[in-house]
Amino acid sequence: MSERHRRPYNDVTELVGWTPLVRLNRVCEGIRTPVYGKCEFMNPGGSVKDRIGRAIIEEAEEEGRLGPGGTIVEATSGNTGLALAMAASLKGYRCIFTLPDKMSLEKRKLLRAFGAEVVITPSDVPPDHPDHYTNHAARLASEIPGAVLANQFYNGANPRAHYGTTGPELWQQTDGRITHFFAGAGTGGTLSGTGRYLKERSGKVKVVGVDPVGSVIAPFFHTGSMPEGATYQVEGLGSDKIPGTLDLDIVDDYVTVTDTQAFQMTRRLAREEGLFVGGSAGLIVHAAVALARELNDPDALVVAILCDWGERYLSKVFDDDWLLEKGIPLDGGEVLGASSRGRSS
């Protein structure tokens, strides 16, 4: 029996980090390159964003921007809000989160379960529209006395948290043998902070960003020009703008994955690997497995971030009727309906 949690913790935030690294087997059948998933859904709040919640709050406190009785406001696809609400619950802060209407009902209920106030905003508006969830959050933060905007898309505490935790963990867990790191970018904190740490340890590590088709990040990376964003269903990754916390200089390549590819891999991970994750993890793993197959190198070591827990998507990716409504094929089958996609978060 492995010795885990040998001593008690002072509070729930001390449980964040040191998530397991698990080899993927059946979804990599016939591929010699080993692929591992970093199980970020095993953080106490169920996602990789737990790593930045406490860091953002503590930095705001240290800078004097957040004090007793204060309010934390943020634009979120759900997971950062959960991380902030979990950490804020220990300190008695009020939380208000703006959430695009494409996000799952489960996420809304989870946020409210932690005591957060949820403001639903339209998904189908451009990034400069006043009702865009980021602009709505900024407006609330400016209007509420004692409020602070967590500002995950431009807050340096975000990538620094991953530089200080996720990167060192992966380096130690792989004994320095990691050759490829795959992650998406909602804010870019995971990709940038982790990637920077790994590249400082070895110039041989390749950092690969994964984008949903319709996001502007991958096209911008390859062309240097800002395209017009399209719409998609995967939550939490991709963007209709380039986040300030995303450092594209440390990224070696950016690949795109469709909603169908992402959701089919998500369901495969549950049924073939016993890993119950969200659609963003399926998106990242699809790209990682594709590269592993191309490399076919037993000396390479590919790591994919498994971003969050699948239970918050029961009404979406794991609901056959929802997939039918969106025109997304079930597990490699025929398209079940007319395509209909929602805007990026």
Which residues, 6 or more positions from 268, have their beta carbon under 8 angstroms from its beta carbon?
A: 26, 27, 282, 331
The pair of three-digit structure tokens given for residue 170, joined into one six-digit string: 């992966």
Asked if 282 contacts 289 with a C-beta cutoff of 8 angstroms, the reply is no
Asked if 202 contacts 231 with a C-beta cutoff of 8 angstroms, the reply is no
Give kind and range of the element (H or E) at residue 36. strand 35-39
Closest Cα partner for 124 from 344, 310, 290, 318?
344
Whole-angstrom distance, CA of residue 219 vs CA of residue 211 = 9
Q: Could you give the C-alpha distances from 176 to 21, 189, 199, 202, 276, in angstroms and in order?
A: 14, 21, 11, 8, 27
Closest Cα partner for 107 from 321, 310, 323?
310
List the catalytic residue out of 38, 49, 102, 316.
49
Residue by residue, DSSP assigns 87-105 as HHHTTT-EEEEEEETTS-H
Whole-angstrom distance, CA of residue 46 vs CA of residue 307 = 8
Q: Give catalytic status of residue 49 as yes or no.
A: yes
The pair of three-digit structure tokens given for residue 271, joined into one six-digit string: 């049924």
| Active site (catalytic) residues | 49
